[in-house]
Chains A and B, each alone.
Chain A
Amino acid sequence: MDIIIIGLLLGGTYSLIAMGLNLQYGVARIMNLANGEMLVAGGFTAFWFYTAGNISPLLTIFIVAPLAFAINWLIYRIMLEPLVRRAKNRGQLEVDSILATFGMSFIAVGLMLAFFGGDYFNYSFLAVPVTLMGETYAQNRVVAFLAAVVICAILYAWITFSRPGLSLRALSVSPESARLVGINVRQRAAIAFALGGAITAVGGALISSFLTLDASAGVAFTLKALIIVIMGGVGDVRGTIIAALLLGVVETLVASLIDPGLTLAAAYALFILVLLFRPQGLFGRKPT
């Protein structure tokens, strides 16, 4: 039972990261493989603020979010928009954006190695036990989970009920038709990409409060986020959340019952099942 709860707590933060990637891939149509590096950068910032100024990661996210938004907006405008404009079809854009974001991810890892070195970094924030339903858990995990839930809820409400959220949903269904009904596609796509990056970075700041990260840890998170997005269905917020919780639980089960070194294998097992039986996502409909 406590394994499942730990898994759910982990899954909550995963859902935040995957939500960021889903905005970037589902709405802005950029397969961003540098997503994990944005997460690690968010984690680095939280680490730095905490060790240098003793500022809680829960406050740091208010600095991380706008900063990551601005950086990602610039990345989209400067680096990715030329690719979108030159692509003749979606397939070509996918190949180009995969290669370009690989390049960015390597550059990001290289820069972080240069500035921070290759050491693992962690800090102890709220590392006190908390009792839930008769079992004890680390408070930082619970707090990170709650923060993730709040952010997910706000995001979900914003996408579902607000006008800008509506235009993002329209964009994710069909960019061509979105333009016909007067949506500024380029501007909205940039905003979706930037927002996705900001959410991922916030997720990184939260994750760093209970996981140990290092400069090259990004790719593992990218991979998990990708698996979650595909499992949940591209552009599907509800599916993403459920898939993230599922991955968190399965991963924790494998880590605690079989071997902690097999977390990726657990993620892959889920991935293979999805590919074989529901490639359109848990709640997706079969494409016609």
Chain B
Amino acid sequence: MSLTGKEIQGVILAAIALLVVGALPYYGSDYLLSLGITIAMFTVLATSWALFSGPTHYISLATAAFFGLGTYTTGLGFESLPFWSLVLMAGALGAVLAALVGLATLRLSGVYFVIFTLGLAELIRQLITWGQNMTGQKGLYVLTDFTEGNLYMMLVALASAVFLVGWLIGRSRLGFALRIIGDDETVAAHSGINTAQAKVLLFMVSGAVAAMTGAILAPRYVYIEPALAFTPLLSFQVVIMALLGGVHRLWGPIVGVIPFTLILETISANFPNQVTLFIGIVFLIIVYFIPRGFAGLIEQARSWSQSESMA
């Protein structure tokens, strides 16, 4: 694998950014750290969402389902198993769930997939609630000695892994196949790409990452119950942040995550009842005015300034 000069430059920049971001627990305040966790969490979720939905244009609303699955993995196993193994196990479970959903829906057109994922979190929530009613159990306490700083570091490590995987996929045959599928699925099928398999594989990556995020964050909630772990709003927040940033670039979602999280924090602190309204308005702004997200705007501005300097 040989890298071009521009790619080496990118790697160095990414390393510096990682150092600055990763050291936050050593210099940031508690508030900053807690904000950092939220941003890191959505960065992981939105970036892994865009890995699948960016090239294929299949809108997945299953993030909350995977996330909740991960939280429950930790919640049920943290007393008997080491934490790292639970995160891995959550990843495996997330991949299995994604494979099942993918096999049922991804052979068909995109609408079926959207509809299926729309209710998936709610479906699992109902099943767990029912199981708890049967066994007479309520919520779960997750008491660990992890500090916020530990969780933050784990999320940053996961985020780096997602960026690395995303970058590798982008260079691989699989990434190429997905871009063709996104362009025109018929063409992809005719040129010998197993479209269903490619889509399911990538959806599994995305599902595994979301489940791992949930597993890492379970200790932060301390007490988990179905309605909290499987909140459907999470899926929508991830979709909107990824689209706001732009899903056609690996770095796109993060440009959406940071401003959206900051604004949403402000709104939910001051006008808690207007959060839904705000999310709806941002959805419409994306569709009608910035369909390629902030990343698209940035690229536009860059090419415009370049053509200016050429003239």
Contact = CB atoms under 8 A, between A and B. Distances in A.
A-B complex is real: yes
B116 interface: yes
Contact of A271 (B110, B116, B129): B116
A216 B288 CA distance: 25
A102 B283 contact: yes
Contacts of A98: 59, 111, 114
Contacts of B8: none
Nearest to A259: B130
B104 A272 contact: yes
B111 A94 contact: yes
Contact of A226 (B105, B115, B291): B115
Contacts of A138: none
The A interface, classified by DSSP as helix, strand, loop or mixed, is: helix
Given A91-B110, A227-B115, A262 B281 contact: no
A261 B287 contact: no
Contacts of B109: 91
B46 to A, nearest CB: 15
B104 A275 contact: yes
A82 interface: yes
Contact of A107 (B111, B232, B277): B277
Given A107-B284, A219-B232, A275-B108, A99 B126 contact: no
B115 A261 contact: no
Contacts of B129: 261
A226 B279 CA distance: 23
Given A95-B59, A106-B280, A230-B112, A261 B119 contact: no
A268 interface: yes
Nearest to B122: A264
A81 interface: no
Contact of A114 (B110, B111, B116, B277): B277
A265 B130 CA distance: 11
B165 interface: no
Nearest to A226: B115
B286 interface: yes
Q: Place the interface of chain A in its size category.
A: 35 or more
Interface in B48-65: 57, 59
A279 to B, nearest CB: 5
Interface in A104-128: 104-111, 113-114
A265 B123 contact: yes
B127 interface: yes
B111 A100 contact: no
Contact of B236 (A95, A102, A223, A279): A102
Given A226-B115, A275-B104, A279-B108, A265 B276 contact: no
B254 interface: no
Interface centre among A105, A114, A220, A268 (most CB of B within 10 A): A268
Interface in B129-173: 129-130, 133
A107 B280 contact: yes
B279 A261 contact: no
Contacts of A79: 284
A233 to B, nearest CB: 13
Nearest to B108: A279
A113 B275 CA distance: 10
Given A110-B277, A111-B277, A223-B119, A103 B283 contact: yes
B37 interface: no
14 contacts: A83-B287, A95-B57, A95-B59, A98-B59, A103-B286, A103-B287, A110-B274, A114-B273, A223-B122, A259-B130, A261-B126, A262-B127, A263-B126, A275-B112
